[in-house]
C-alpha cells in the first residue's frame, strides 16, 4: 500500500512547531479516533508530529484507521516526533490551569526535541519534559487513495446521520456495523441495516464513473459518522482503493484526512427488500404521530412490557398508536390523529418496535410523514411523501413488523 513520505529527522534542541493550544488540542481530539488507549503495540499509543518546515501534520494510526490533521503555518523546523497521545493531551489541559478559557485557547504551545529519547512541551511560560516513543517502531501510514467522488459535506453528514439510526452493532455480524456506499452516475446511495430495519439515503455527488467499484464500498458506519462530524470544509473528497486483500476508503475535507479499512464482508442486498408499491398509504402529521408513539413507548416502559410492540392502527381518515399490554389492551384509548389515508377499506393494525419506530420518525424532518403498508405481517416503509416509494433518490426507512398476539 502507498505510504506517506518521511521528513527529515528532528534537530536536537530545535522547536518543531508553535501552535495555539486550542488548535493543537482540537487536532489531538480528531486524531484520537485512530489512537487506542490500550494498544497491543505500545507505539500505537503515540501521535506522530511531522513537520516539513511550514505545516505541521498531526497523525494517528491503529492499523485500521489513519487520521491526519494539517496545522497550516505551525511548523518551525522540519522533523518528526512520536509522543504519547494521552500524555500530551493531558498536559495541554494541566498547563493552562488557572487561566481564563480565552487565555488558555490562545496560549502558544512549543515542542522541542531535547535528545533522541525526550522532548519538552512549553505552554504559557511553563516547560515540562515529554517522553518520546521510538519512531523506528511506528508503522507506515496509508496515503489517501484515488478520488472516487466529491459531495457536499453538510448534505452528506446529514444523510449519513439519518441512515446510521438503522446501523447494527452485533459483533458476530460485522457487515451490519457498516454503511454501504453505492456510487452511481447521479450520486451516492447510503444504506444501513440491523436486520430489523433498513435505512437508505441518497446524496448528489460528482462521481468518477470509471472508478465505481462493482459491489460498492462497505465502510465502518459509526466511524464514518464521527469523521463527518469533524470535517468543516464545504466539500468532502471520498477516495477508494483495493490492492490485493487490502481495501480502503477515505474521507477528506479541509485540514482533515481519514483513511480507513473497509469491512471485509458482504452487505445484504437491501434493494430487494424495498417495496415499489403499497396496498395502503397514510400521510400523517409527523410530530403528532411521534408524540403519540413516544407516549405509548413510555407506557410500555412504565408497565415493564419493554418487549411489547406499539400498535399502529389505520382506518378511514385516521391513524392511532397504542401500547400492546400483557393484559387490558382492549381498555386502552388513544386519540385518533387525522390522516390522509388511501387504499384501506377496513382498519389495518400493525405492530412495530417502539424504539425503532421512534428512531425512524425522528430521522425525518418534514411536517408530514408517509407510511406505506401492505398487511399486518409485512414491513412498513416510511418516506417523506407518497411518491418517495418509487423515487430511488428519496430517503426511505423500512421497519419489520412484530406479530401481534
pLDDT in tens, 174-208: 999 999 999 999 999 999 999 999 999 999 999 99
**374 pLDDT more than 60:** yes
pTM for the model stands at 0.89
Q: What is the pLDDT of the chain when averaged over all its residues?
A: 92
Could you say which of 106, 137, 168 is where a domain stops? Answer: 137
| Residues 253 and 356 reside in one and the same domain | no
Whether 286 is in a domain gets the answer yes
Tell whether 156 and 219 lie within a shared domain.
Answer: yes
Interval 200-237: pLDDT, tens: 999 999 999 999 998 999 999 999 999 999 998 999 99
CB 24 within 8 A of CB 109: yes
Is the distance from CB of 236 to CB of 251 less than 8 angstroms? yes
Residue 29 maps to a domain:
yes
Per-residue confidence at 8, pLDDT binned at 50, 70, 90?
A: very low
Among residues 233, 257, 272, the one where a domain terminates is 272
Residues 6+ apart with CB under 8 A from 142: 1, 2, 3, 4, 66, 248, 259
Mean pLDDT of 360-375: 96
Residue 3 domain flag: no
Q: Is residue 116 part of a domain?
A: yes
pLDDT for 115 equals 76
CATH number of domain containing 234? 3.10.150.10
Better-scored residue on pLDDT, 243 or 371? 371
Q: Are residues 256 and 301 in the same domain?
A: no
Residues 321 and 253 in one domain: no
Residue 395: inside a domain: yes
Verify that 285 and 234 share a domain, yes or no. no
- Tell me how crowded residue 196 is: count the other CB atoms within 10 A of its CB: 16
Cell of residue 218, nine digits: 462497505
Instruction: Judge whether 2 lies within some domain.
Output: no
**Given this model, what pLDDT does residue 404 score?**
87
pLDDT value for 38: 87
Number of domains in the chain: 3
pLDDT of residue 1: 46
Mean per-residue pLDDT, 140-153: 95
> Do 289 and 383 fall within a single domain?
yes
244 falls in which pLDDT band (50, 70, 90)? confident
Question: Could you say which of 111, 137, 163 is where a domain stops?
Answer: 137
pLDDT digits (tens, 9 = 90+) for 42-58: 999 999 999 988 999 99
> What is each CA distance from 187 to 138, 163, 207, 237, in whole angstroms?
38, 16, 6, 13
Mean pLDDT of 252-261: 96
For residue 6, give the nearest of 72, 46, 51, 43 by alpha carbon: 51
Tell me: do 133 and 152 sit in the same domain: no
pLDDT at residue 5, as a whole number: 43
| Helices 286-303/354-362 angle, 10° precision | 150
Lowest mean pLDDT among 7-16, 82-91, 156-165, 255-264: 7-16
Give the domain extent around 57: 15-137
User: Are the CB atoms for 70 and 56 separated by under 8 Å?
Assistant: yes
Residues 6+ apart with CB under 8 A from 319: 282, 284, 289, 312, 313, 336, 337, 339, 341, 371
User: Tell me, what's the pLDDT at 13?
Assistant: 52
SS (H, E, C) 274-301: CCCCCCEEEEEEHHHHHHHHHHHHHHHH
Q: Within a domain: residue 9?
A: no
Separation between Cα atoms, residue 84 and residue 132, nearest integer Å: 7
State the Cα–Cα distance between residues 96 and 224, nearest whole angstrom. Answer: 33
268 and 280 share one domain: no
* pLDDT surpasses 90 at 113: no
pLDDT of residue 126: 93
Q: Are the C-beta atoms of residues 311 and 349 closer than 8 Å to each other?
A: yes
**Same domain membership, residue 306 and residue 239:** no
Same domain, 374 and 301: yes
Share above pLDDT 70 across residues of the chain, in percent, rounded to a whole number: 96
- Residue 101: its pLDDT value, please? 94
Q: Provide long-range contacts, Cβ within 8 A and 24+ apart, for 360-365.
A: 360/165, 360/197, 360/199, 360/397, 360/399, 361/286, 361/289, 361/290, 361/293, 362/165, 362/290, 363/162, 363/163, 363/165, 363/199, 363/395, 363/397, 364/286, 364/395, 364/397
Q: For residues 97 and 178, state if they share a domain.
A: no
Do residues 390 and 280 share a domain? yes
Let me know if residue 190 belongs to a domain. yes
Measured between alpha carbons, how far is 317 from 231 in angstroms, rounded to an integer? 45
Amino acid at each position: 500500500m502507498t505510504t506517506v513520505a518521511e521528513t527529515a529527522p528532528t534537530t536536537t534542541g530545535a522547536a518543531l512547531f508553535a501552535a495555539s493550544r486550542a488548535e493543537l488540542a482540537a487536532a489531538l481530539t480528531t486524531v484520537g479516533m485512530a489512537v487506542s488507549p490500550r494498544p497491543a503495540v505500545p507505539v500505537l499509543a503515540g501521535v506522530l508530529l511531522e513537520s516539513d518546515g511550514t505545516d505541521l501534520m498531526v497523525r494517528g494510526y491503529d492499523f485500521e484507521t489513519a487520521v491526519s490533521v494539517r496545522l497550516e503555518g505551525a511548523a518551525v523546523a522540519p522533523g518528526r516526533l512520536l509522543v504519547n497521545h494521552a500524555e500530551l493531551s493531558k498536559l495541554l489541559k494541566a498547563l493552562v490551569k488557572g487561566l481564563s478559557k480565552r487565555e488558555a485557547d490562545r496560549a502558544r504551545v512549543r515542542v522541542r526535541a531535547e535528545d533522541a529519547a525526550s522532548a519538552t512541551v512549553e505552554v504559557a511560560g511553563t516547560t515540562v519534559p515529554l517522553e518520546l516513543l521510538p519512531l523506528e517502531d511506528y508503522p507506515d501510514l496509508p496515503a489517501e487513495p484515488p478520488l472516487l467522488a466529491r459531495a457536499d459535506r453538510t448534505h452528506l453528514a446529514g444523510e449519513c446521520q439519518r441512515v446510521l439510526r438503522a446501523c447494527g452493532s452485533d459483533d458476530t455480524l460485522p457487515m451490519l456495523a457498516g454503511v454501504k456506499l453505492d456510487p452511481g452516475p447521479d450520486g451516492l446511495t447510503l444504506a444501513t441495516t440491523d436486520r430489523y430495519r433498513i435505512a437508505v439515503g441518497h446524496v448528489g455527488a460528482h462521481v468518477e464513473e470509471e472508478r465505481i467499484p462493482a459491489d460498492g464500498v462497505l465502510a465502518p458506519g459509526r466511524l464514518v459518522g464521527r469523521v463527518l462530524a469533524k470535517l468543516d470544509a464545504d466539500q468532502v473528497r471520498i477516495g477508494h482503493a483495493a490492492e490485493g486483500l487490502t481495501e480502503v476508503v477515505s474521507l477528506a475535507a479541509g485540514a482533515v484526512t481519514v483513511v480507513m479499512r473497509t469491512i471485509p464482508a458482504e452487505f445484504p442486498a437491501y434493494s430487494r427488500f424495498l417495496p415499489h408499491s403499497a396496498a395502503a398509504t397514510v400521510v400523517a402529521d409527523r410530530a403528532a404521530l411521534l408524540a403519540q408513539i413516544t407516549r405509548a413507548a413510555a407506557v410500555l416502559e412504565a408497565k415493564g412490557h419493554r418487549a411489547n410492540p406499539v400498535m399502529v392502527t389505520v382506518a378511514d381518515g385516521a391513524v392511532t398508536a397504542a401500547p400492546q399490554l400483557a393484559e387490558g389492551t382492549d381498555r386502552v384509548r388513544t386519540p385518533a390523529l387525522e390522516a390522509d389515508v388511501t387504499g384501506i377499506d377496513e382498519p389495518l393494525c400493525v405492530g412495530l418496535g417502539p424504539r425503532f419506530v421512534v428512531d425512524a420518525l425522528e430521522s425525518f424532518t418534514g411536517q408530514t410523514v408517509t407510511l406505506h403498508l401492505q398487511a399486518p405481517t409485512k414491513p412498513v416503509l416510511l418516506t417523506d411523501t407518497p411518491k418517495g416509494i418509487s423515487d430511488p433518490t428519496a430517503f426511505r426507512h423500512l421497519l419489520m413488523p412484530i406479530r401481534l398476539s
